[in-house]
Chains A and B, each alone.
Chain A
Amino acid sequence: MSETTAPKNIMQPKEPRPDVRQKVTGTARYTADQYPAKVLYARSVRFPFGKGSIVNADVEKARAIPGVVLVDVKKGKSVNYAGGIVGRIVAESKDALEDAMEALNATYEVEQSRTNPSKLYEGVPEADAQANAELKGLFDGGLKVVEATYTTQVQTHSCLEPHGSVVDVRQDGVEAWVSTQAVMALEDAVSNTTDFPASKVVVHSEFVGGGFGSKFSLGAEGTMACRVSKERARPVRAILNRSEEHCDGGNRPGSIQYMKIAVKDSGEIAGGRVHVVSTVDADGGGGGIRNPNYYKFGNVVRTEGDLALNGGKPQAFRAPGFPQGSFALESMMDELAAAVKMDPVAFRKLNETSRRRIEQFDRGAELIGWKDRKADGGTPGRIKIGYGCAAGSWGNGKGKCSSDCEIHRSGEVEVRVGIQDIGTGASTVVTDTAAWHLGLPRTMVTGKVGNSDYPPGPGSGGSVTTRMTVPAVRDSAEKALGELKKELASVWKTEPDKISYGEGVFVNPTNNQNVAWKDACAMMSGASVVGHGRFNDEYWGEGGSDTVQFVKVEVDSETGVVKVKKVVAIQACGQVCNRLTAENQVCGGIIQGISFALFEQRMLDPMTGGQLNADFINYKVAGPVDVPEIVAVLDVRDTDTGARSIGEPSTIPTAGAIANAVANALGVRVRHLPITPQRVLEAMLEQKGAIA
């Protein structure tokens, strides 16, 4: 279900993606589908436990297996996480490679791993003297004070298409297929790794099965593919398997977030103490929890730290640091509202920093049926209904992008941009933007992305792709149209700017006759005309990415099972390029948010430090039955004239809204993600002394 507030600016009605048939029928070719002739298979040898080294491995036996090309194992190399690389194997076939992997029959020295953040957490550091004095004034001044510690788990990226590269280093250059969200940057990476100039390198990434922030670099597997291909003068495939993907394919770091906040009886937040800790890998870094945020939190003394675990390295993950921060701060918002006996929506509106979101809160409350919300724990019987809400937003900076729009004699149009479609529908945005500005049906236009020989575009990080691509594509379309008018002017013996055009029809100013697009294109002197476009400020327009989400849940108070029944998202995103794609982004963000709130968690064994759930059976991702009714409202006003970010803001508020809905349902607050039956039952025992 969906609706839109003001469809006036919508460029296109709902249309499926042009490549939908290829994807559904399996003819879309991803990196993992590339098998060039005489390809070699390469894979890293990985340490399976949290900390230690390989003592022994039967390298000779592995090398002796027919078809095995290379076995290299670094015995004694110390490793700090399960999945850490200690060698490599290259073989003529996947079977030979796996046989060699097994033949190693490695023995390990395993040291004690750091796996449990709550046991390792050192508490809140003392603030400096001046800050302490300010805090004392806040907390002793007769205001209501709420103190709580929230934790979030480590979530792995779990891209459906694993990380991987297929690289063919030839004498005259390099052709590479990489599953990446930065096809232009990967051209440089492949160029550097293979010592070929970038002009001799082409990187293909036409289809990508998800990245979520984890696919910006060549990675160990891509580097290995480049080097082995160069050494052996053969194409090389290095595609991670699912276990490698979970252990070493990136993750959203966990967090421990302490908040002690004072609030006035009026509902105005006065300030307080915030200490956030990210659970990162042994090398440290990559945390960055965004708490506080969105609301006027007053005078906050904030400190931040890292807690090193023996786990894989964090990578940027869809709104890095935001969903974790949002879960804690939105939980605190509800706890503060309860302390001053205010409705959570009214309390948020009072402390909001964004006028747009204040309006969105009213709209969302109406659509979810907020008036039906009962007092906390107020549903009779064992099945409890709860409602919750939360806010989000995203920054929208300008950037660089270029685009070529080529109009052929046949009238068909091809638009090429050096961006990549990581599953978001970026190529659809290119097609529909060009079609809209050329006044043509989208069947006449083909948007092409995912090739490093195309005009450079941005990497897909920070939700920039659409907002940077649209002004460049429009610029190239306008310029190509200008080139076509020049051709017509020379035929009609007139000036190009005297030729008017709209909706597929030119007017010949010399005789006032209409000339259809295809007939006009047939008059061009060459095979095609090209407009070279770039990011054009004129087409930047206005808009933002504010959002609020409302959630309705059903909690079984006897078993602790939480079911999300409905989510309403009011999402600003400027001008919409393709409604289906935009709504799909919002729904995807929400589903990933539900999965983060209720299910996903990396589980490291306390004894060995190995990841126990490096698969899709024990690593639990929301499935079809877990997905509720989602009402994705694209909040578009007449003033929203530029395309804006949507991918990241849409996943920020979901977990916080769910946690608040669960607390409303039960009258008990679960302050730790994911909200599993175990966590719900533990919270009930702790806060009520008994399970319902």
Chain B
Amino acid sequence: MRSFGYAEAENAQGLAAALGKGYRIKAGGIDLLDMMKERIDKSERIVSITGMTELRGIKERDGGVAIGALTTLNEIARDETLRKAFPALPDTVCNAATPQVREVATIAGNILQRPRCWFFRQAEYNCLRKSGQACYAVAGDNTYHSIYPMGACHITHPSNIAPALVAVGAQIIASDGKNPKSYDIRDFFLTPEQDLKRENKLPQNEFITEIFLPKMPEKSAYVEVKEKQSFDWPLAACVATYADKKWSIILAHVAPVPLRATLAENVVGEKADIDENLALQAAEAAVKTAQPMAYNGFRVHLAKAVVRRALLKACGKDFHA
């Protein structure tokens, strides 16, 4: 790991000033420090924001829920209000990574973490996302890469919590130190077609202050499939929510962004109660546009399975039957 300059921000003004001098934000530090140790991220100055306690915590507000940017995954996993009103949200993080990581990893850090692509994460592979000429996943081993093509790079989006936030149309509240900015999470993430180097729209001079969920869904469920039950990223996952006579079905870990399965949403329509047959039809529709690569065809089947299961689970039904 290279030596780096280190500062601690005490408030928004101080943080904005640091960002102006080119500092990178460190919250939990889980992803950033890993990237720096591997010399993929060459940040020379980092600013810790863990002292900005006003960015931490879960509050009910304006009929919705505001989650501070520094709220840890375990604080979300343990929150009684969320557990009752929107169980899919704590479910997305309660088995993520390890208990130690969940105690320090933050919601904003989870949303902003860089891709886990094993070519991107090795300095020897100068891939498209690192200014190189080729995506190594095309001809190489792409077992864990995207099954929905969205451009020349084939990452999957690594955030566990983002799909649940996309499902309920959360707002990402950011700041440049002077003015609050608001991003609709539904178009916050960038596909490789939109931008090869960045995974979201947050500019370097801004920082997330909170995630606001305007309304809790009437029904929600999260289902994931992992090779290993301790410390693993899912092969496929799905969040399904129902509110205002509309379903949101969001696929995760199968595409470069949390993927809204609109074809599946069309199949289920306004129906509040979904039976096995309809869930299966929706699942089929969700993978209609999938185009797996040479090594990851099996994950199309898994994507289908998690959509079916999430819909049935949201309706309180046993999907194992």
Contacts and interface: CB of A to CB of B under 8 A. Distances in A.
B2 A99 contact: yes
A681 B298 contact: yes
B141 A606 contact: yes
B3 interface: yes
B116 A623 contact: no
Contacts of A681: 298, 301
B227 A676 contact: yes
B118 A612 contact: yes
Interface in B136-172: 136, 139-141, 143-144
A678 B228 CA distance: 13
A566 interface: no
Nearest to B123: A102
B129 to A, nearest CB: 16
Contacts of B243: none
Nearest to A558: B305
8 contacts: A95-B3, A381-B321, A382-B320, A383-B320, A610-B122, A617-B116, A620-B227, A623-B231
A118 B193 CA distance: 36
B232 to A, nearest CB: 7
Contacts of B98: 623
A558 B98 CA distance: 26
Most B CB atoms within 10 A — which of A556, A607, A682? A607
A682 B298 CA distance: 8
Contacts of A98: 1-2, 39
A396 interface: no
Contacts of A641: none
Contacts of A607: 136, 139-141
Contact of A563 (B39, B229, B305, B319): B229
B308 to A, nearest CB: 8
Contact of A623 (B140, B228, B298): B228
Interface string B288-304: 00000000001001100
A620 to B, nearest CB: 5
B301 to A, nearest CB: 6
Contacts of B227: 561, 598-599, 620, 676-677
Nearest to A679: B298
Contact of B140 (A558, A560, A608): A608
Interface in A609-634: 610, 612-613, 617-618, 620, 622-626
Nearest to A47: B124
Nearest to A612: B118
A304 interface: no
Nearest to B99: A624
A624 B232 CA distance: 12
A603 interface: yes
Most B CB atoms within 10 A — which of A563, A677, A681? A677
A677 B225 contact: yes
Nearest to B225: A559
B182 to A, nearest CB: 34
A623 B119 CA distance: 24
Contact of B2 (A95, A383, A603, A622): A95
A678 B298 contact: yes
Interface in B119-137: 119, 122-125, 136
A598 to B, nearest CB: 8
Nearest to B39: A102
Interface in A546-565: 556, 558-561, 563
Contacts of B235: 677
Contacts of A608: 125, 136, 140
Interface of A: 48-49, 95, 98-99, 102, 381-383, 556, 558-561, 563, 598-599, 603, 605-608, 610, 612-613, 617-618, 620, 622-626, 676-678, 681-682, 691
A595 B35 CA distance: 27
Contact of B141 (A102, A603, A622, A682): A603
Contacts of A613: 118
B78 interface: no
B194 interface: no
Most B CB atoms within 10 A — which of A49, A608, A682? A608
A620 B228 contact: yes
A622 B231 CA distance: 9
Interface string B256-285: 000000000000000000000000000000
Nearest to A101: B39
Contacts of B201: none
A94 B148 CA distance: 42
10 interchain residue pairs of minimum CB distance: A623-B230, A625-B229, A625-B230, A48-B124, A607-B140, A678-B298, A612-B118, A559-B225, A605-B140, A607-B139
B226 interface: yes
Contacts of A610: 122, 124-125
B229 A95 contact: no
Nearest to A49: B124
Given A98-B1, A681-B301, 12 more contacts: A102-B123, A382-B319, A382-B320, A599-B227, A603-B143, A605-B141, A606-B141, A618-B144, A623-B228, A625-B230, A626-B229, A677-B227
Most A CB atoms within 10 A — which of B125, B143, B227, B235? B227
A99 B3 CA distance: 10
A606 B143 CA distance: 12
Contacts of A49: 124
A476 B149 CA distance: 71
A78 B64 CA distance: 63
Nearest to A682: B298
Contacts of B144: 618
B298 A677 contact: yes
Given A48-B124, A381-B320, A558-B305, A626 B228 contact: yes
A436 to B, nearest CB: 38
Given A599-B228, A626-B230, A559 B140 contact: no
B231 to A, nearest CB: 5
Contacts of A102: 39, 123
A383 B305 CA distance: 14
Contacts of B298: 560, 677-678, 681-682
Nearest to B294: A606
A620 B39 contact: no
Contacts of B139: 606-607
Contacts of B301: 681, 691
Nearest to B144: A618
Contacts of B119: 612
Most B CB atoms within 10 A — which of A95, A382, A612? A612
A131 B160 CA distance: 59
B74 to A, nearest CB: 16
Given A623-B229, A677-B227, A618 B2 contact: no
B220 to A, nearest CB: 21
A622 B230 contact: yes
A491 B296 CA distance: 82
Contact of B302 (A559, A598, A599, A622): A559
Nearest to A99: B2
A102 B39 CA distance: 9
Contacts of A676: 227
Contact of A559 (B1, B118, B136, B305): B305
B1 A95 contact: yes
Contacts of B321: 381-382
A378 B2 CA distance: 58
